[in-house]
Amino acid sequence: MDESLPELLAELVRRNSVNPALVPDGAGEVEIAGFVLAWLTRHGIPAELDLAAPGRPSVIARVRGSGGGQTLLLNAHLDTVGLAEMPAALTPTIRGGRMYGRGTYDMKAGLAACLLALRDARGMTLRGDVILTAVADEEHASIGTQSVLKKVRADAAIVTEPTGLQLCVAHKGFTWHELTTRGHAAHGSRPDLGQDAIAHMGRVLVELEALGRELTLCSAHPLLGHGSLHASLISGGQELSSYPERCTLHLERRTLPGETPQDVEAELDRLLRRLEADPGFRAEHRLLLTREPLSVPADAPIVGLLSRQAGRVLGQAPAQMGLSFWMDSALLAAAGIPTVVFGPSGAGAHASEEWVDLASAEQCHEILSATIAEFCA
């Protein structure tokens, strides 16, 4: 039972693991982490739970080598986005070589490939260790990967997010910001007393739009293109007949390798300072969250090794690519672990229809096992 990849993947999909930070009644990772832990134990692979927060477990498993070799880390996340408007989301269905269901593509097929590769590693003669971190909360704040990194170290890592069997060696980061403009509350009939914080924010929005255009004129990253920003959420005012005292904007800036959070903070502060040339304009800026971009060196050994093994299985070396969205891979790289993202093909991440190509997931499993055999030998 659950020994083949489709069988194992189906069992993973049946476990509701909706991230409760995204959906208030989300089931979280408790059930699926328990299943993964039991599966590993049944196959003689030592594993433990790591609690990043109450009710938010990750799984850490290790196949130990004899000593003196390199350690390879495989990383996959347990959580998914919500199930709304996705019929039979937790009922895996196979049609035309594809498995449909929530999490098939993002990223339980990658997790299944990791688990089977770990099972294969038990039968290999290795000097180095193979570690699996099956983590909580990647879809929100990545508390799972941040927690397991306090316990594990490795010489290289592979994150099995779906890449269509291409090598992702770069992805964008992001920063979240809060901008607040201040007005003066007064009755709507008293323009002599009131100052409109929302109108002031309109001036900020015009400047942000101009900054977005400027970013498209900068030198493009060869794999990622340009940085970008967008206004995400805005709120302000007290009631219809009053001058608004306050307006708050939350915005996101997508960053490229080489751009730091400090660079982006300075960029936005300069924008506000220009507007503050008007003595009636008052604004505040606060950095809320930052996630670094990923850029793994082209000559990192894991890049060449994984490319060779993938080329052997696929018949040609996979293309190297960059992705616009952020992944836990950047946290691993920031911890000093050269990291590549490599996973199966499919479609529908966060969509109402999600599927993974089962043949590509099988190939991913084969490539991971071959990479383990060479890297950890």
Domain membership of residue 62 as a residue range: 5-171+293-375
Q: What is the 3-state secondary structure (H, E, C) of 254-310?
A: EECCCCCHHHHHHHHHHHHHHHCCCCCCEEEEEEEEEECCEECCCCCHHHHHHHHHH
The answer to whether residues 22 and 58 belong to one domain is: yes
Q: What integer pLDDT is reported at residue 202 of this predicted model?
A: 97
- Higher-confidence residue of 257 and 1: namely 257
Choosing from 291, 326, 356, the residue where a domain stops is: 291
Q: What integer pLDDT is reported at residue 76 of this predicted model?
A: 98
pLDDT digits (tens, 9 = 90+) for 51-92: 999 999 999 999 999 999 999 999 999 999 999 889 999 999
pLDDT digits (tens, 9 = 90+) for 151-177: 999 999 999 999 999 999 999 999 999
Which residues 6+ apart lie within 8 Å of 55 measured at CB? 20, 28, 30
Q: What integer pLDDT is reported at residue 2 of this predicted model?
A: 59
Q: What integer pLDDT is reported at residue 85 of this predicted model?
A: 85
Choosing from 291, 313, 340, the residue where a domain stops is: 291
Q: What integer pLDDT is reported at residue 3 of this predicted model?
A: 83
Residue 298 pLDDT level (bands cut at 50, 70, 90): confident
User: 3-state DSSP call for residue 210?
Assistant: helix
Q: What integer pLDDT is reported at residue 220 of this predicted model?
A: 96
For the cut 70, the answer to whether the pLDDT of residue 289 exceeds it is: yes
Give the pLDDT mean for 117-135: 98
For the cut 70, the answer to whether the pLDDT of residue 1 exceeds it is: no
Choosing from 241, 259, 291, the residue where a domain stops is: 291
What CATH number is given to the structural domain containing 240? 3.30.70.360
The answer to whether residues 184 and 230 belong to one domain is: yes
Give the pLDDT mean for 143-147: 98
For the cut 70, the answer to whether the pLDDT of residue 269 exceeds it is: yes
Question: What are the CA-CA distances from residue 285 to residues 178, 181, 259, 265 (Å)?
Answer: 6, 9, 19, 8
> What is the residue-averaged pLDDT of the chain?
97
Q: What secondary structure does DSSP assign to 85-102, as a single string?
A: T-TTTTS-EEETTEEEST
What CATH number is given to the structural domain containing 97? 3.40.630.10
Could you give the number of structural domains in the chain? 2
